[in-house]
Chain A
């Protein structure tokens, strides 16, 4: 879907981005992760040509971006910014309708799509005629997301979309974000410096430093097969929590004791991470939960102790 080849951006002598290559498949969530100044935002902005590359090639859907009108290119990609970038002199409705206006949709179509998105993003339609400054930070970010999704672009670029929110709001919006059906179909490139966020939202993560990619892979690959000491060091602080979040029941299914239960009522899906499963178990009186694996039709009842011990076995087997 999106292919970056040998991409560089130099600002004077500073090599902000230094010959990176990666690929994002259709429907995938790719996270550009790294500290400030590592070149992740510059990389993102080169994809919609807010910044022109010094060298290298970017193709989206097989088409070279530099061969398209920048305006047309951008109208076909959703763009979400850290500080929302909502127009203060436009109402919520007008803000959401900016891209469709540029694409010259008719009013009815815009209205219908606006209401649909407001509903999906848990925004009351009473907010439509008011100005962004009257909304809370979380609501503003939702409107920003609605604006980016309005024209249903296949690609979504997000620059620290949750960065300006307080931890509680951030947690809630992130959760909604994961569950939003509109986003499941989209190819998303998201920039963040928050490791937890990257592991929760990313199908794959590009960990960058000094304009170079240190490692690109799934969260589990980064954790269990770090390419170098930088990657190992970067994840060290929150390692255990990250591992709980990176490993899914699926991954350790065979290591779990095979106490098969018949009833699947109240069972969780084996796509759940160890972290999520632990949260559910600890919230229940019986200290156990049933999980089903639709691939082989198995259902297992898991206790806290069993889960931890299976996870430990997995850790040992994965570690190099």
Chain B
């Protein structure tokens, strides 16, 4: 525990520059959107408080927006607003609307009718009643809405990192993917603190200003404006080409770190979610992305893989990994899973992925079609000799493999199957396997080598070029270290790769990562 705390502080100290800029970006994103939400939401709330016929419609629409999952909303926005700050601010705005509009409406309609009548009866005009009576009396409720919106925004702003808008989410999602607890905490703790601090400060405003809102009302927008400006401080630079890397890629030795060490590649990089990265590249918001060589979207979005001429990406041959315990419990499991060994090569996997990712066929259908075509599919035996739990990471290829294994087990054995698909990053899947929450999931040799085993550069150099050496190494190490068995490789190599649009790569004459580096360093 002590050691853990120590190293968290060390990590934060070491990454203090990044942490500071992420925090500023986070605050900026939160308050730009909050400011705009107030600028639009407050008048709208006032309007519907006076024209109540509109209130149902407006609150209904704001409510529907609130229910859209944040990731989905970000996805919808990319074709319209691209990636980066604009869609992030827009999404935050949408989430901030409901509490602000609804509380303004509730606050104003909640002002005692007698008081409003008295104000009218004394000869106050519409705007005098609004500014001297309704708004001051509704202010505690309106401020409560702004408080809610602020806290929501601090939380949702962590997702901004998924579409290259930065913020503390970069650490959080990077940390989750890499199972780096310090990195997660370095993002999560400041984010939580921001939420607590802003909530506290606004609660103070709420209390102090009840009687003297008339001056307070002018201070709040000024403070918000200053906080909103934070966003523009860290993002004042940009480069020739822009790269979008996933949080996981950013922290991996066979990722961004390797690119810098081995190639000396210096490129303006934004952190972005895998889910939107390919599309962003296709739509020219990004020039270089980190992808997987068997990804179906490679085909769909007309991208090419840059050749890794210095071999920083080790082989990533996929194979099921199973806990030794499960192999003992389910004697037929190993032979059943090995049915698929050597059956799927790179181009087959890419086209299967293409069907799921781009043609939007269900992984289940794609898996079944493949097995039927290969004459591997058997009617389910509906046995009940125990349940095998299959896991998968959160992308199409893993879903397809999980489906294939499910069908094979149900068809060839008397075991039943439960699937736990979409288990986030590598470490979540691996953790689930180690902790006996799943029995099997497909893993890649390179990932095992670099992420789980974290091998030293020396060993890495001796292994990297040879796929069999890597496979044998991880198999032995996993058996002794974790009591987990690597079964036979499925056949394809889903390695990390840098990708560019075909047309741009051709124009710039970039074929390898070294070409890319040369281009970036030329005519500076």
User: Which A residues have a C-beta under 8 Å from some C-beta of B?
Assistant: 48, 50, 70-76, 79, 81-89, 98-99, 102, 131, 147, 157
Contact = CB atoms under 8 A, between A and B. Distances in A.
Given A81-B117, A85-B114, A87-B115, A98 B122 contact: yes
A76 B210 CA distance: 31
A89 B122 contact: no
Contacts of B331: none
B114 A79 contact: no
- Please give me the 8 A-B residue pairs with the lowest Cβ-Cβ distance, nearest first: A85-B118, A75-B123, A74-B123, A79-B121, A85-B114, A71-B123, A83-B114, A89-B136
Contacts of B124: 71, 98, 102
Contacts of B121: 48, 50, 74, 79, 81, 85, 157
B429 to A, nearest CB: 58
B211 interface: yes
Nearest to B128: A102
Contacts of B122: 74-75, 79, 98-99, 102, 147
Contacts of B480: none
Interface in B311-365: none
Given A50-B117, A79-B118, A89-B210, A72 B123 contact: yes
Interface in B179-230: 210-211, 213
Given A71-B123, A131-B211, A89 B137 contact: yes
Given A50-B117, A83-B114, A102-B128, A89 B123 contact: no
A81 B114 contact: yes
Contacts of A85: 112, 114-115, 117-119, 121
13 contacts: A76-B123, A81-B114, A81-B117, A83-B114, A86-B115, A87-B119, A87-B133, A88-B115, A89-B136, A89-B137, A99-B122, A102-B124, A131-B211
Contacts of A99: 122-123
Interface residues of B, number: 19
A131 B211 CA distance: 9
B120 interface: yes
A50 B119 CA distance: 11
Contacts of B118: 79, 81, 84-87
Given A48-B121, A85-B114, A89-B137, 9 more contacts: A50-B120, A74-B120, A82-B114, A83-B114, A85-B118, A87-B115, A99-B123, A131-B211, A157-B121
Contacts of A87: 115, 118-119, 133, 137
Contacts of B125: 71
Contacts of A72: 123
B210 to A, nearest CB: 7
Interface string B415-448: 0000000000000000000000000000000000
Contacts of B213: 89
A6 B128 CA distance: 33
A75 B120 CA distance: 10
A42 to B, nearest CB: 13
B432 to A, nearest CB: 57
A89 B124 CA distance: 16
Given A99-B122, A102-B124, A88 B117 contact: no
B137 to A, nearest CB: 6
A148 to B, nearest CB: 8
A254 to B, nearest CB: 46
Contacts of A73: 123
A81 B115 CA distance: 9
A147 B213 CA distance: 22
A48 B117 CA distance: 11
A84 B112 CA distance: 11
Contacts of A79: 118, 121-122
A75 B122 CA distance: 5
Most chain A beta-carbon contacts within 10 A, residue among B114, B119, B122: B122
Contacts of A86: 115, 118
B120 to A, nearest CB: 6
Contacts of A98: 122, 124
Contacts of B211: 89, 131
Interface in B501-524: none
Nearest to B212: A89
A82 B137 CA distance: 20
Contacts of A147: 122
A88 B123 contact: no
Most chain A beta-carbon contacts within 10 A, residue among B115, B137, B211: B115
Interface string B89-125: 0000000000000000000000010110111111111
Contacts of B115: 85-88
Nearest to A95: B118
Interface string B446-459: 00000000000000
A75 B137 CA distance: 22
A50 B123 CA distance: 10
Nearest to A76: B123
Contacts of B114: 81-85
A86 B124 CA distance: 14
A79 B210 CA distance: 27
A98 B118 CA distance: 11
Contacts of A76: 123
A144 to B, nearest CB: 8
Contacts of A83: 114
A152 to B, nearest CB: 14
A68 to B, nearest CB: 11
Contacts of A88: 115, 137
Contacts of B136: 89
Nearest to B211: A89
B223 to A, nearest CB: 22
B376 to A, nearest CB: 76
A83 to B, nearest CB: 5
B106 to A, nearest CB: 17
Contacts of B112: 85
A157 B122 CA distance: 11
Interface string B127-141: 010000100110000
Nearest to B214: A89
Contacts of B120: 50, 74
Most chain B beta-carbon contacts within 10 A, residue among A83, A85, A86, A98: A85
Contacts of A82: 114
A225 to B, nearest CB: 35
A70 B210 CA distance: 30
A84 B123 CA distance: 16
A290 B114 CA distance: 48
A151 to B, nearest CB: 9
A200 B125 CA distance: 36
B135 to A, nearest CB: 10
Contacts of B133: 87
A98 B136 CA distance: 15
A76 B133 CA distance: 20
A99 B119 CA distance: 10
